[in-house]
Amino acid sequence: MWTGANDMTATIHAHRFDVRSLTMTTKNHPPMDTLSLDLLRLIKQSDPDVAALLQAEAARQAETLELIASENHVSASVMHAAGTWMTNKYAEGYPGKRYYGGCEHHDTAEDLARNRAKKLFGCDYANVQPHCGANANIAAFMAMCDPGDRILSLPIKSGGHLSHGLKPNFSGTFYEIHDYDVDPDSERLDYDVIAARAHEVKPKMIICGYSAYPRTIDFARFRAIADEVGAILMADIAHIAGLVAGGAHPSPFPHAHIVTTTTHKTLRGPRGGLILSNDEEIAKKIDRKVFPGSQGGPLMHVITAKAVAFREALEPSFRDYAANVVTNAKALAASLVEHGYRLCTGGTDNHLLLVDLRPRDADLTGADAEQWLETAGIVTNKNGIPNDPRKPMVTSGLRLGTAALTTRGMGTSEMKVVAGLLDRVMGSQGDAAVAETVRGEVRDLCGAFPLPH
């Protein structure tokens, strides 16, 4: 029986901790909420191996600059909500219609998550059960298309996602995938060309929303194109969901028929998926295709954490966060240009930058940059750029995002510092001494902007 926070503390302390047995691996042990410390101690009693790796990972996150565009740092509330009693339950079905008894509180949790998601995105329907973004897309495809139907999407090499039609993926296996591409010169979407492709292909469904596209998506224009050819419009806002929720990117509603997203990127929730719509008929199909169509029991502990994250995103401060993510991305972009790099599309409108490394150094590859930066405590990922002559495991580009640094409270002056650190490492030819010096400066900067706790 839940009677308040004091009881929970008492329960945790009922386990006999040996506080001294938990030695921190770094002198600069990251600031941590007391519950996290207690949990580490608790796990250490039964599994010292896992306790050690958890502590090391907490330290890694605290002491490195996270610039991967799809990552973020969740609040302690979101993190701990995902590690609760809710994990112990089967809840196949939906609130009020479960295939298992004892789901009373799970119904409440899922209803909270669904209602908050609807409010956050201003729509009539939400399914919070998809285990991840790719699973949300499987259910969405199954709801809207039959196997063999034609789908028009942006390929992964131009910034699309593997679940939009890559051959070995379910999407490329069960559907007839046709491509549109970004303009080779501007590297941006050219809506006239996309419209022409749509008339040529006559797809059942058009997908917009990407993994490496730094510009605003014109959802209204996409809907007009879909209407011209009688296609369904699906918007996959996995990357920009936090910006949409915080008012820093236009909403896919009322334009898209169906919207899918992850909850863990700019939206800053637990790892998971989400499907949204305004259409009652589509909603019914989605529910059937998530369960029993493509999943079994929902991850109710994660759904509970989604509810917590959606509430956080409904706070006024989340709008400031979303605006700051974009301001920081523009500041980082401007500084990198000053250092001699080129930005694909010429800049950014969102949280993400695609950096062409070649103008700074014709021999510098994305793979080298990623590796050298990691040694210096700066975490990024290599990424192909439009018409990249190098292979996907090498690349000429680096993808950067500002969500995680913004969550730590960094602003435009820190972006200038970060651009300088990036350039010193990428201009070093992999010099170990440079990496070591930068590593120290990264630690200091991280120390001044601790993780949420």
Residues with catalytic roles: 90, 92, 236, 262, 265, 271
CB of 34 to ligand PLP, least distance (A): 31
Q: Which of 36, 158, 211, 266 binds ligand PLP (CB under 6 A)?
A: 211
| Contact call for residue 70 and ligand PLP (CB under 6 A) | yes
- Residue placing its CB nearer to ligand PLP in the complex, 70 or 328: 70
- Residue placing its CB nearer to ligand PLP in the complex, 93 or 270: 270
| Contact call for residue 210 and ligand PLP (CB under 6 A) | yes
Q: Which of 74-82, 93-101, 203-211, 372-380 is the region at the interface with ligand PLP (rule: CB under 6 A)?
A: 203-211
- Residue placing its CB nearer to ligand PLP in the complex, 203 or 401: 401
| Contact call for residue 134 and ligand PLP (CB under 6 A) | yes
* Cα distances (angstroms) measured from residue 141 to each of 138, 204, 230, 289: 5, 10, 17, 9
Question: In the sheet where 232-236 sits, what is the strand order?
Answer: 125-127, 273-277, 258-262, 232-236, 205-208, 150-153, 176-179
Q: Which of 23-31, 132-140, 278-286, 301-309 is the region at the interface with ligand PLP (rule: CB under 6 A)?
A: 132-140
| Contact call for residue 354 and ligand PLP (CB under 6 A) | no
CB of 402 to ligand PLP, least distance (A): 16
| Contact call for residue 402 and ligand PLP (CB under 6 A) | no
CA angle 378, 425, 406 (to 5 degrees): 35
Neighbours of 156 (CB within 10 A): 19
Nearest to 65 by CA among 453, 385, 452, 451: 451
Distance CA 121, CA 143 (A): 21
- Residue placing its CB nearer to ligand PLP in the complex, 140 or 425: 140
Read off the tokens for 451.
Answer: 């993780």
Q: Which amino acid is at 175?
A: Y
Q: Which of 67, 109, 132, 259 binds ligand PLP (CB under 6 A)?
A: 132
* Cα distances (angstroms) measured from residue 405 to each of 270, 324, 400: 18, 10, 11
Q: Within 226-245, which residues bind ligand PLP (CB under 6 A)?
A: 236, 238-239
- Look at strands 125-127 and 381-383 and give their pairing: unpaired
| Contact call for residue 209 and ligand PLP (CB under 6 A) | yes
Which residues lie closer than 8 Å to 283 by C-beta, 6 or more apart? 124, 125, 127, 277
Q: How many residues bind ligand PLP (CB under 6 A)?
A: 13
CB of 69 to ligand PLP, least distance (A): 9
Neighbours of 148 (CB within 10 A): 9
Distance CA 76, CA 453 (A): 5
- Residue placing its CB nearer to ligand PLP in the complex, 238 or 355: 238
| Contact call for residue 66 and ligand PLP (CB under 6 A) | no
- Residue placing its CB nearer to ligand PLP in the complex, 86 or 237: 237
Distance CA 137, CA 219 (A): 18
* Residues found near ligand PLP in the complex (CB under 6 A): 70, 132-134, 161, 163, 209-211, 236, 238-239, 262
